[in-house]
Structures are given as structure tokens and as C-alpha cells.
Structure 1
Amino acid sequence: MAYFVSEELMNRKMLCVMAAAAALLGGCKKPETAGRKLAGDAGPTVKFSYTLTVEGKQVDSSVGKEPLTATLGSGEIIPGLEDALAGMKAGEKRNVVVPPEKGYGAYREAGVQKVPKTSFKDSARLKPGMVVSGKSNGQPFQAMVREISEKEITLDLNHPLAGKTLNFDIEVLSVQPAGS
């Protein structure tokens, strides 16, 4: 007896088999690997040490201190560093160059503001290079004092590393799979 299967039924069965295979294979990921996350999903939690240099000078380091722990996909760390950590395993080391657009963004001249000295309660204590904190429209901010004149204070609201290429030496210490 011969069986005849319609093309529509055959396509539906093939789709079901392909969907099942994709579901099975999609779930097969080594737990010790910092894999990519899906949009809206929290990824693995990665503990790592790092040394950050900018223009040949060390800016920050966790070496000899508490390592940094971040959940990939949560926005806890800059995108360029997160991209580099994705797929790394415990014990793996890597040098990562992060351009400004994947770090703290471009330096924006619009982020430099002149404000009246009278805006500060104790403007006499301010010096160029100091970081000040405040609120604007109910939102907290930090700014670097760039210049002080007789009547105005020039504040730079850009992140101190905006516009800079960041060089990280990273070592992954552990990777915890998402949801564990």
C-alpha cells in the first residue's frame, strides 16, 4: 500500500521538525561561556578583573581589589566591554580596544555650560578640575569645573572619558549562566 502525503502536510511536518531542532539546539550552550543574550533577556553574570588605560596612562584597575561583576545585557557596563566579554570563558584573558561610540560616547560641546557664580552656595571654594554634584529639573548630575571667571563658572557635563578610546586588559574569573 502506498501512502501519499500532500505537499502542505509535508511542509507542516518539516516546519515542526525544524522548530523542535531549533529549540533543542538553541538551548545547548556551555554554562561556563559568557554567551550573547536575547533582547530583553538578562544574560550570564561575569566576574572579571580589568585594567583600563587611556592614551597610554592607567586610569583604573581592579587588580589587587575586588573584581567587577556584571550581568550581560543589563546595561551595567559600557557596550564595548560587554561585547568583548560575551563568549569568554573563565580564565580567558583579552585586550579590548573600545572606541568612544561603544564607550562613553562622543565629547559634546553642548555639554559645556556657563552658569552664574551665584548658582553655587560656596563658589569661593571651587577650583578648576573639581567635580561638583547638583540637581537640574529634579535630576542629579555631576560636572567638572573647567573655568572660573568673575561672574561665571564653566561646567563640563560630559563623562570624563567621553570622546576617548579605552584600552582594557580583562581576565574573566567566573561565568554564571543566566537564571542561576
Structure 2
Amino acid sequence: MMQAKSGDNVRVHYTGKLTSGVVFDSSAGREPLEFTLGSGMVIAGFDSGITGMQVGEKKTVHIPVAEAYGPSDENLVFEFNRSDLPKDIPFEVGMQLNMHADGEGQVVPVTVTSVSEDKISVDANHPLAGQDLVFEIELVSVN
């Protein structure tokens, strides 16, 4: 049987979990995820976990922080004075917003992490940064 290798177009079903067992994403009920192995389209640990698999094979891959979304970076946590922000937005912890990162229109997704009467804190780290991840993977096809 053919083994998946770098450069192959692969299709996989997956369930992504935190080490606590909480599911954060799954292809269940959807089409398989399709991507080119080794192209950087997915996190490094997911990519390397599929390399060498055969069609129909299922396995569980444990991905450390460094091969997932990396460690959480304190430099990506920002605090703003509430008086400098629009008055019509009802800020809540967990709310997802888009922040303009530079004068060239680049938009960065952020999560509100704290809200007080005079300050708002947001985190621009990927929501899974700083987390070890576990993926249950089934290789559906290799082209």
C-alpha cells in the first residue's frame, strides 16, 4: 500500500482535542480535510503525524506546543483604555474581535480576555497557543 509522503495531496478525517479531552474541532459530518502534505498548510505536528500513514489507517497523534500553535506570547496581549474604544460595543470576556495591526489595513483576530470599567484587555495569540494537542486521524486518500 502507498504511504503518505511530502508533496502528496491527502484527505483526512480528524478530531482535535485538548489533553483534557475537550474537542475543539472535528471533520465529523463534513467532507475530509484536504491539503498537500509538507506544504505548511497545517500545523507541523499534524503534518508529520500523517507522513507514513496508509489509506484507511487510523491513529492518535500527540502534538506538543512547539509543533502545534507555539507558546503563548505575552507581547500579543494588549490593554486599552475603554474611553479610547467605541462606546456602542458591549465588550464581554471571550468575545472575538478584529484589530487593525498596522497602518496598511492588516487585520488580526483577537479575543477579549478582561473587561473592567476603565480597561479592556485582548489577546492576539491563536486560541490554541500554549496547548498540547491530540488528534485522532484517519487517512482517507492519497493522490
User: 1:90 is matched with which residue?
Assistant: 55
Q: How many angstroms does 1:122 deviate by?
A: 4.5
> By how many angstroms is 1:152 displaced?
1.9
Distance of 2:83 and 2:101 partners within structure 1 = 15
TM-score (normalizing by structure 1): 0.73
1:33 offset after TM fit, Å? 2.0
- Deviations 1:133-174 (Å, cap 9, x if unpaired)? 121113210111011122221001111111111000000000
For 2:120, the equivalent position in structure 1 comes to: 153
Query: Over the residues paired in the alignment, what is the CA RMSD in angstroms?
Result: 1.5
| Residue of structure 2 equivalent to 1:50 | 14
Question: Are 1:50 and 1:169, in contact at CA under 8 Å, matched by a contact in 2?
Answer: yes
Segments of 5+ residues of structure 1 without an aligned counterpart are 1-29, 38-42
Within a 5 Å distance, the mapping from 1:120-159 to structure 2 comes to 120-122=85-87, 124-137=89-102, 138-159=105-126
Identify the structure with the greater strand proportion: 2
Q: Residue 119 of structure 1: CA displacement? A: 4.4
CA distance in 1, matches of 2:57, 2:87: 50
Question: CA offsets per residue over residues 3-36 of structure 1, 9 Å max, x none?
Answer: xxxxxxxxxxxxxxxxxxxxxxxxxxx7x3211x
Percent identity for Structure 1 against Structure 2 = 37
Residue type of the alignment partner of 2:4: A
Residue identity matched to 1:44: D
**Higher helix proportion:** 1
Residues 9-158 of structure 1 aligned to structure 2 (within 5 Å):
32-35=2-5, 37=6, 43-54=7-18, 55-122=20-87, 124-137=89-102, 138-158=105-125
Cα distance in 2 for partners of 1:96, 1:145 equals 31
| Structure with greater Cα Rg | 1
Per the TM alignment, residue 118 of structure 1 is displaced from its structure 2 partner at its CA by: 4.1
Shift of 1:125: 1.5
Moved segments of 4+, more than 4 Å: none
